[in-house]
Structure 1
Amino acid sequence: MGTKSRKTYTPEYRREAARLVIDTGRPVAVVASEIGVGEQLLGRWVHAERARTDPGEAPLGLDERAELERLRRENQAMRMDNEFLGKAAAFFASKQNPRNGSR
């Protein structure tokens, strides 16, 4: 029976994994299972990344997190609406015929 060696992760990988949790607001458990690392390990990475990037920033409360999620959804819907309107405007602009035939 051999000894089991520990997996090692680069600092860049740790930061990127932590940013997945921080930037998306998804739970540590979900992200940990997706990327195949332990929850506690990823939790430590997230804590370290938060301390590294902005030590004075307090974590979001439940109300703030809910509003942030609502605003992100609203922002995504507005982006989709804007994209649709841009395509519609281009479509209608290409269909316009000159009134007097001079072009």
Structure 2
Amino acid sequence: MSRVKYSDEFKAQVVREVVEKDRTIASVAASYDLVPQTVGNWVARYRKEHSSQEESEAVAESAQIARLRAENRELRQENEFLKKAAAFFAQEQR
């Protein structure tokens, strides 16, 4: 079985179909009469090369959200404790 060499422009066009037009790899592969594995490899390579900044921003944002949720949970617990302490000391003074 011989390997077919596709041009970079053709690969880019196929990848754009998947990435920009939100088509599935299988449907794009079928429309161009390609093996889905091949199209999947092209898309994976494209995403690996072009997603470093977007991915790092998403990871940083997720980390910040997790940190803020933990801080929020801790502050709620402290607030509940202070409410209970205030109620306890208010009863003692009576």
Q: Which residue of 2 aligns with 1:53?
A: 50
Which sections of structure 1, spanning at least 5 residues, go unmatched? 59-103
Residue 4 of structure 2 is aligned to residue 7 of structure 1: yes
Q: CA deviation at 1:49?
A: 1.2
Q: Which has the higher contact order (CA 8 A, sep 6+)?
A: 1
Q: Distance in 2 between matches of 1:51 and 1:28?
A: 16
Report the number of matched residues: 55
Residue 34 of structure 2 is aligned to residue 41 of structure 1: no
More helix by share: 2
Question: Runs (4+) of structure 1 moved beyond 4 Å?
Answer: none
TM-score (norm 1): 0.48
Which sections of structure 2, spanning at least 5 residues, go unmatched? 56-94
Residue 14 of structure 2 is aligned to residue 17 of structure 1: yes
Asked which structure has the greater CA Rg, the reply is: 2
Q: Distance in 1 between matches of 2:40 and 2:52?
A: 16
Give the % identical residues.
Answer: 29
TM-score (norm 2): 0.52
